[in-house]
Every structure is written in structure tokens, then in C-alpha cells.
Amino acid sequence: MPNPSAAMLVIGDEILSGRTQDTNTHFLAGELTKHGIDLKEVRVISDDAPVIIAAVQALSKRFDHVFTSGGIGPTHDDITADCIAEAFGAHLDVRDDARAILAAHYANSGQELNAARLRMARIPDGATLIDNPVSSAPGFSLGNVHVMAGVPTVFQAMVASVLPGLTGGEPLLSQSLRVMRGEGDIAAFLSDLAARHGDLSIGCYPFQHNGAYGANVVIRGHNGPGVDAAMRELAQEMGL
């Protein structure tokens, strides 16, 4: 059976403007790889409701899981929860369990649970809360869409809360070899190697060091012995 598939939806004008660097995609990709869920697509979109709704609907139909980051905070431009609810035709309102989590958090910190902060307790009907041990405000899962904060530390904590409950497949194994030859010199051999090992992914990533050209060749697959065999062939061809 193939591994479950996933897509990542990064939401935020600050990402598209270059003001904020997205690190959540890199983190999620690594965690999904270890869990045996294949990340197939990543989209970065603006804080535009029709765009978010359309993207959620399209991705949730194509993939087993969709992970979103950004837009679930307390300010007026945090519209992700509204859009997810609209995408699934679900009612959205402050939910008692989410309110209780926020009330306890702000009471302990001596801060007021005001109207703005209460926005973070608005959860679509039918959703399951995602635990947030960093700042308490929960994310949520609705259908196959997992809605999480954009702040990297919070996003990472939410991913750790979600993944144990998802069925994964075989982890993707990876080995790499650094060779001091140009891509053009090794392209023919890599094509033959890929043809002999059709169940593996073989990538070639060039670099330049002290004026000399080289490449990092990466072999990936779910079949450990197959990855080992292909890497041995590569090393032998490179004289290593």
C-alpha cells in the first residue's frame, strides 16, 4: 500500500511579502518523512478568504491530509478559522472547551481574556482540538485538514500533538554521496542507475567549491536494501 499523502498550505501576506521567512514547511516535511506520510504539494497563499477557501477545498479532495499554518491568532486579519469553516460548510463560534483552555491560561498569567483573545476559541462544529502546550490557544482538525498556528515554536508543538494520531506508512530512507564531478560528467550513469532502481528516487544537486564543480547525489526510497545497493553502485562508479 502506498504511504498516505499530504499537502501543506502556508497562509500569510507576511510570507509572500518577504517580511517573514517560512520555516514551518521544512519542519513539517521532515516530521512527515519520519512518520511515513508523503508530502506531495506546498502552497503559499495570501490572507484572502476566497483564495484560502478554494485552496482548502481543492487540497482536501486530492490528499489524505492537509496541514495549514498561519492566521488563527487574535487579530482581525486572522481569518483561517472562518475560511476552514466556510470550506466545509460548518458553523463557527466560541466553543466551551476552547474557552476553558484560554480562560485557565490567561488567569494563570494574570491577563484578561478579552474579546480579541476569545477569537482564538472560535472552533468549527465537528472539529477536534489540537493541543498547544506553548501558548495554550488550540488549533483544530476538521475532516482531513489540520489547522495550526504560524509561529514556528507553536506550529512545531502542534505537529507533535497531531502526528501520533495519524496512520503513517514506511519512513522514507535517504543516503547521499558528495562527488567532485560535474553534473554533465555523471548524468549518463545516474540515468542508468535510476532505470535499474525504478522504485528509488535519485537526485543530483550541484555545487561549486574553490572553483571546482561537484554534486551531492541523494538516493531515497522505502526499500532499505535497495537504497544500500544503489549507493554501493554509485560509490563504485565514482571510485570511492
Q: Are residues 161 and 182 in the same domain?
A: no
Cβ contacts of 164 within 8 Å, gap of 6 or more: none
What distance in Å separates the CA atoms of residue 84 and residue 19, rounded to the nearest whole number? 25
Q: What is the pLDDT of residue 1?
A: 75
Q: Cα–Cα distance between 36 and 39 in angstroms, integer?
A: 9
**163: confidence class by pLDDT, cuts 50, 70, 90:** very high
The average confidence (pLDDT) of the chain is 95
Question: Domain with 50 in it: what CATH number?
Answer: 3.40.980.10
The grid coordinates of residue 119 equal: 477569537
Domain of 36 in residue numbering reads as: 5-165
142 and 190 in a single domain? The answer is no
Domain's final residue, options 133, 165, 197? 165
Does residue 62 sit in the same domain as residue 130? yes
What is the reported pLDDT for 147? Answer: 98
Specify the pLDDT at position 51: 97
Q: Which amino acid is at 61?
A: K
User: What's the chain's Rg over C-alpha atoms?
Assistant: 22
pLDDT per residue as tens digits for the range 72-81:
999 998 999 9
pTM, two decimals, is 0.85
Residue 8: pLDDT band with limits 50, 70, 90: very high
- pLDDT tens for 69-125 read 999 999 998 999 999 999 999 999 999 999 999 999 999 999 999 999 999 999 999
| Number of structural domains in the chain | 2
